[in-house]
């Protein structure tokens, strides 16, 4: 196991190895650093927003995302969608006209009310049922026959009205950046790549505090690599393609030819569609981002915090240590005693109980191997060499985060120490 101590960085928030001895780290203040061995170099990033996540495809080609609150954005569309928004406006106008006593105004008001009803019917149309069917092999899975990949309009969450989201892309190892506004007021919560395209995950608000909780989210795409999806040849950063996922996104992972998106359970919307109307914390779709996707529902409505696939094809997930609860018309979180570990095989979820630990932060499997790792809430590391059939304690302690890298596991220990262990 190789160890790198980045002593010039007081606290590392996240990291990515790009070779077995170099890569990038993000510190606790949102600053990006490049490291080679034990030496580090600060990477100048665009001013105006704090970096929340980063991802590099090559040592030169990468992206950063984050949020800022410098002013109030000009939203183009709210959470209701086009038909729902039209219906709302027509109703308001009809009510205003009805207050007038002139017969002509009342006639116009009646016509507007009829149009509002028609718009509502369009918004609530059950046509989306044709794109959703049950999975005969699993009660926890719903099959979807279309995706929502298209150029996206502004997605606005009113309590975040002063917040702006950004992406900046570099092709020069951070010497120059191409910065763009992401058309949303949501928080940027995840970043990955398919081919040469970057995918940004968002979450309206996952923290209990001054802003109301809201489990909505989208995937925004930046790049014109049409290797997997031909539509992206016409993608532009001014009008990026997106997937309306209707659930808050915590992270991405890839397995074989699939993209797995995980986070909160659904957020119902108007107009409804097969995604917003179907329970599920895990959204699985081909890398082509086309049809034949699946929604997988974990027990209860607790957020999925990490997700991994073993060589046997089983899904392993760790859950948040809290669950949503509605009281007096307001959404709260109720703390749970442990952060559970689940495995999904043969169409069923099974809770995993281990004598070594009861509460888990993260699970990971190294692609191309039978090796997997569990990070406990206490910072201890468990490992398996047979796809999770048996687990044993590993030597490192004080671990805060882990990422698979090629045929290795990379670890963050303490405040500023990186470890890499080849399988």
DSSP string, 268-319: --SS--TTTTS--SEEEEETT--S-EEEEPPSTTPPEEEEEE-TTS-EEEEE
C-alpha to C-alpha distance for 138 and 50, rounded to whole angstroms = 42
Three-class secondary structure of residue 91 per DSSP: helix
Give the largest CA-CA distance in the chain. 84
pLDDT at 71: 54
- For residue 212, give both structure tokens: 């109301």
Stretches in the chain below the pLDDT threshold 70: 70-125
pLDDT at 283: 97
C-alpha to C-alpha distance for 141 and 125, rounded to whole angstroms = 23
Q: pTM to 2 decimals?
A: 0.88
């Amino acid at each position: 196991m190789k160890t790198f101590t980045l002593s010039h960085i007081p606290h590392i928030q996240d990291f990515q190895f790009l070779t077995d001895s170099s890569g990038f780290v993000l510190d606790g203040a949102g600053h990006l650093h490049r490291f080679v061995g034990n030496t580090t170099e600060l990477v100048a990033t665009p001013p105006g927003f704090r970096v929340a996540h980063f991802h590099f495809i090559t040592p030169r080609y990468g992206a950063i995302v984050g949020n800022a609150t410098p002013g109030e954005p000009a939203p183009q569309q709210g959470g209701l969608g086009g038909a729902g928004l039209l219906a709302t406006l027509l109703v308001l106008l009809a009510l205003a006209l009805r207050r007038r006593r002139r017969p002509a105004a009342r006639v116009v008001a009646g016509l507007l009310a009829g149009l509002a009803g028609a718009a509502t019917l369009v918004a609530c149309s059950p046509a989306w049922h044709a794109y959703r069917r049950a999975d005969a092999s699993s009660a926890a899975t719903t099959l979807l026959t279309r995706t929502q990949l298209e150029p996206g309009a502004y997605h606005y969450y009113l309590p975040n009205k002063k917040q702006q989201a950004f992406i900046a892309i570099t092709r020069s190892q951070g010497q120059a950046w191409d910065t763009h506004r992401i058309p949303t007021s949501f928080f940027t919560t995840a970043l990955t790549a398919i081919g040469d395209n970057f995918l940004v995950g968002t979450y309206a608000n996952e923290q209990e505090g001054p802003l109301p909780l809201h489990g909505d989210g989208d995937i925004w795409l930046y790049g014109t690599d049409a290797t997997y999806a031909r539509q992206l040849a016409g993608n532009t950063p001014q009008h990026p393609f997106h997937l309306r996922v209707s659930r808050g996104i915590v992270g991405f992972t890839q397995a074989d030819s699939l993209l797995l998106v995980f986070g909160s359970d659904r957020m119902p919307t108007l107009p409804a569609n097969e995604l917003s109307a179907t329970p599920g914390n895990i959204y699985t779709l081909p890398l082509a981002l086309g049809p034949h996707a699946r929604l997988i529902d974990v027990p209860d409505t607790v957020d999925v915090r990490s997700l991994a696939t073993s060589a046997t094809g089983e899904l392993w997930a760790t859950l948040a240590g809290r669950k949503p609860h509605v009281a007096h018309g307001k959404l709260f979180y109720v703390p749970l005693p442990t952060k559970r570990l689940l495995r999904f095989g043969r169409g069923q979820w099974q809770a995993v109980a281990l004598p070594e630990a009861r509460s888990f932060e993260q699970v990971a499997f190294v692609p191309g191997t039978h090796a997997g790792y569990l990070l406990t809430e206490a910072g201890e590391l468990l490992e398996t060499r047979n796809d999770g059939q048996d687990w044993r304690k590993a030597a490192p302690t004080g671990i805060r985060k882990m990422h698979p890298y090629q045929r290795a596991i990379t670890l963050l220990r303490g405040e500023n120490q990186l470890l890499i262990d080849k399988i």
